[in-house]
């Protein structure tokens, strides 16, 4: 898990973590990442129908948004 200033190791599956988080605030962008929707800066086309989700941290971190998850995110954050 990454925050603005720290990294944490967690001993839970992504599915378990996802089930614990508020779906109005957190979205699973890929099998290996979950993003806080309040920190999404932009969504950029990538390749093969995938996108990059850019977050508003100091590093402007980018997360992969899979093709399968893109439709669900469009319903929440139209772009």
Position 6 pLDDT exceeds 90:
no
Position 20 pLDDT exceeds 90:
yes
Closest CA to 38 of 27, 52, 47: 27
pLDDT of amino acid 45: 95
pLDDT of amino acid 49: 87
Q: 78 or 76, which is more confident?
A: 76
What is the rounded CA–CA span in Å between residue 5 and residue 3? 5
The residue extents of the domains of the chain are: 14-76
pLDDT digits (tens, 9 = 90+) for 36-63: 999 999 999 999 889 999 999 888 999 9
Other beta carbons less than 10 A from residue 73's beta carbon: 21
């Amino acid at each position: 898990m990454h925050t603005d200033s720290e990294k944490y190791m967690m001993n839970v599956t992504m599915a378990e973590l996802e089930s614990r988080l508020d779906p109005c605030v957190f979205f699973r962008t890929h099998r290996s990442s979950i993003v806080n929707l309040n920190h999404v800066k932009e969504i950029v086309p990538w390749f093969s129908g995938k996108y990059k989700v850019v977050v508003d941290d100091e590093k402007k971190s980018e997360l992969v948004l899979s093709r399968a998850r893109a439709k669900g995110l469009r319903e929440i954050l139209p772009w």
